[in-house]
Structure 1
């Protein structure tokens, strides 16, 4: 059974949901419990298969987990984008410039602290270029670094792989802990947001598979486009492309015979399934390396990554809450968007029990991608 990727995936989802139901005060893991169950089962399955010298099954599991990861990401992001598309024009009209500022504040904060740690730690500075991208869970950042300094790909990739899990955990836990630490009343925040913005009521009963597929097709194509801004080159990637496609087409509503406005309950079910599969697959494919490569260097770099991620989130929260006066529901999404964190978005939706979170995420994410590319490029050229 431990060589069956479907058994492991749904076992991870089952155990993760079970773990996520336990509460400590106001805190619970919710859907994010599947990340932890995935880490454990991924480590356990690979360890036992290695004892049997069953290398072919390990390779099959790796390939399967990667495909689960991509497919679940498509489901989650497309559903989130279509839900958020109903209200995105009101959100951008009211808070637009603040989201752009948030994106650059968060990515700049992570860059400054990563560069500082890289200089004082005594470790290879190129490890910290990877740690920066990992802590802010940014694949485009990693790609930019590898392209800029190709002679140090191993060091950069190692830093990214070490920094990714602490980065994911930092965002997920922050979404549950910030309201507790800063005594935010989520119910009151929802009421305030509803009084400020008139959200569209869900009167739609249909779900159009053709339209849903079209959103994904357009998004994948958009993600492949290389955006050239002089010395800065980047692409939105599959995640960014599908998000933009879903937000844009969903806000249009209907194009010819294709109707992009769909039933919210159905979209929420797809979103939840995508999130559970996504978090489980991240854990399953990272579990063995996370636990087996623990040594003094990796633990220290993971600690640095955790501090970088938490610092970026805290700066984002302070700027967004006390300077921009953003509502927590929208701000939580903007922080996740600034961290380019899909798992964080899922945690924010779960913790706040509100899909409006996705509007802040969708408005911030593209600018955070650009910020990561710019600051990673600068980081790479400084050394």
Structure 2
């Protein structure tokens, strides 16, 4: 016993003992519902109650590490969602956070709950670890972790039970809901192949680039046919009057192009190198972060990418688009060339990580600098983004562009995930031991109020978001549930929903709402502290 007590005095032994026990318990689940990584927080609170403590430096390091991986993961999708139909789900997730913030303010004021504890309850109700990080950063009070720990079970169970029980009580057929009500999700469009004869004199001896296709148009000019010759369509390919252009895109865009350059003629694929299209999945991790321009498929394989699908949303191809594993490309070419291209994207190498330590460290450093910079808000005073907000902002921006100067930010998903998991475990271990030192005293002082507050701050945003989704935005139940799961950052809720309906729609909606909720709950934590 004495030897064990002595070992517990060793900081590294204590740290990894907490992480081992916490991650072991986190693997347990009942009907698909478990604590996951948050189990580390609860185990750490137990150790903290008995006087053990993890260094604040380890906690801060873990927080920065975790928050940067969150930003790098959300960055490529965050800004694009604003320009697509995903903005509907993003708005719902932001409104859910806003309702949670208002509910927290009213509840904490009426029940006379301390600000740090109230904000912690909100982040627990929303099951948001980045929100907890922002709350600790803004308040500097460990009782925020206590509030998180108290409300977290409410946050998990409420979403899971609501998703499962509402359809049964109201006798709603979720599969039928998807068929009956229109969906705001932008689906993949099947591209059309059209052959157009160049008849306009003004286009004689012009290059394909000089056609000035409308920005955002779906069209890709894959081939130029001149007599018996078939030429791969490149930007500097010269066209002559009488040439046939093989264009791929939506019917609407192709019609406009046809009016601009000539007339449509019957497309006979057998005369065009057997041109067809195929949907090819980027299976290999080797292509993460590489752009279509770098791959140069037209010159290397004689094929052309016309559309790119990611997370259920489809985008027009762009030479600067940087690929992620799992992207689905619509590729045009002959069968032989398409087979070669498909093998190219499915090749696998032993390389399993591409973490660039210099880039990652520089992003962290830039984030910390941004975090300490004062930001003046009229009527509210001066705030700063802190150790949580600063790195998140830096990672979002750099993650969106993928590469800025010497900084590379497109890492393989498994590598990014491992770094994030390590950072999260370190942060939760530190936050938990700090919070555990005062958890009993807080419950004794606040009594049933904290439990009641946790239930209220969980239930009101959940019901409010559901009413907004179904009544204001006219979403079907499935899409509304998906937006709620994303807005409340509830992965267990999404798991429960996936078990009820055989469709990819819940995951698509969740992916659209989640990044916005992840960011705005952190912002709300800091803003709320100014009012409480």
So what's the TM-score if we normalise by structure 1? 0.70
Structure 2 unaligned spans of 5+: 1-6, 124-130, 168-173, 179-184, 188-309, 316-321, 326-344, 346-351, 499-506
Secondary structure (helix, strand or coil) at the match of 1:228 reads: strand
Cα 1:97–1:145 change in 2 (3 A) is farther
What does residue 42 of structure 1 align with?
48
1:209-288 aligned within 5 A: 209-233=357-381, 234-288=383-437
CA distance in 2, matches of 1:109, 1:117: 12
Structure 1 SS opposite 2:355: coil
Match of 1:111 in 2: 102
Is 1:85–2:75 an aligned residue pair?
A: yes
Count of residue correspondences: 335
Q: Secondary structure at the match of 2:375?
A: strand
- C-alpha separation in 2, matches of 1:103 and 1:96: 10
Residue 21 (structure 1) aligned to one of 20, 27, 33: 27
2:122 aligns to what? 136
Change (3 A) 1:29 1:368: closer
Q: How does 1:30-69 map to 2 (within 5 A)?
A: 30-44=36-50, 46=51, 61=53, 64=55, 66-69=56-59
In structure 2, what is the Cα distance between the partners aligned to 1:246 and 1:358? 18
TM-superposed CA distance for 1:15, in Å, is 1.4
Distance 1:131 1:21, change over 3 A: closer
User: How far does the alpha carbon of each residue in 1:96-137 deviate from its partner, in whole angstroms, 9 at most, with x for none?
Assistant: 475356435533444346425643x5xxx4x35444323224
Q: Is the 8 A contact 1:175 1:351 kept in 2?
A: no
The residue aligned with 2:61 is 71
In structure 1, how many angstroms separate the alpha carbons of the residues matched to 2:453 and 2:115?
11
How far, CA to CA, are the matches of 1:212 and 1:104 in structure 2? 32
User: Residue 15 and residue 140 in structure 1: after superposition, are their counterparts in 2 closer, same or farther (change >3 A)?
Assistant: closer
Distance 1:306 1:11 in 2: 30
Task: Work out the CA distance in 2 between the residues paired with 1:113 and 1:357.
Answer: 24
Distance 1:129 1:281, change over 3 A: closer
Secondary structure, aligned partner of 1:238: helix
Q: CA deviation at 1:85?
A: 1.9
Tell me how far 1:141 sits from its aligned partner.
6.8
Flag the structure with larger Rg.
2
Q: C-alpha deviations, 1:305-341, integer Å up to 9, x for none?
A: 31243135414642575355457566534324xxxxx
Task: Give, in whole Å, the separation in 2 of the partners of 1:313 and 1:357.
Answer: 16
Q: CA deviation at 1:143?
A: 8.2
2:121–2:150 contact (8 Å) kept in structure 1: yes
Could you give the per-residue CA deviations for residues 135-159 of structure 1, whole angstroms, max 9, x where no partner exists?
A: 224676788889xxxxxxxxxx697
Preserved CA contact (<8 Å) 1:96 1:363: no
Q: CA deviation at 1:174?
A: 5.1
Seen in structure 2, the aligned counterparts of structure 1 residues 280 and 309 have a Cα distance that, compared at 3 Å, is farther
Query: Counterpart of 2:356?
Result: 208
Secondary structure in 2 aligned to 1:9?
Answer: helix
